[in-house]
Amino acid sequence: MQALVGEELRWDVESMCPACGFAVAVCGDDLPDELRGRLLVEYGPAKLQVAQPTRGAAVMRVLRAELGIGLGGVRAVLEQVLAGQYSGTLPEMELMARKLRASGIEAAASRTVN
Secondary structure of residue 36 in the 3-state scheme? helix
Please calculate the CA angle 102-107-111 and round it to the nearest 5 degrees.
130
Per-residue pLDDT band at 26 (split at 50, 70, 90)? confident
Q: Is 21 left (phi over 0), alpha (psi -120 to 50) or beta?
A: left
User: What's the count of helices (H) and strands (E) in the chain, helices before strands?
Assistant: 4, 6
Cα-to-chain-centroid distance, residue 20: 37
Residues 6 or more apart from 33 whose CB is under 8 A from it?
none
pLDDT of residue 114: 54
With the CA atoms of 25, 43, 107 and 67 taken in that order, what torsion angle do they form, in degrees rounded to the nearest 10? Answer: 50
Mean pLDDT, residues 51-79:
90
Mean pLDDT, residues 75-103:
93
Q: What global pTM score does this model have? A: 0.82
CA distance linking residue 24 with residue 17, whole number of Å: 9
Please, what sign has the CA dihedral across residues 69, 1, 9, 47? positive
Task: Give the start-to-end residue ranges of the domains of the chain.
Answer: 2-111
The CATH fold assigned to 2-111 is Ribosomal Protein L30; Chain: A, (3.30.1390)
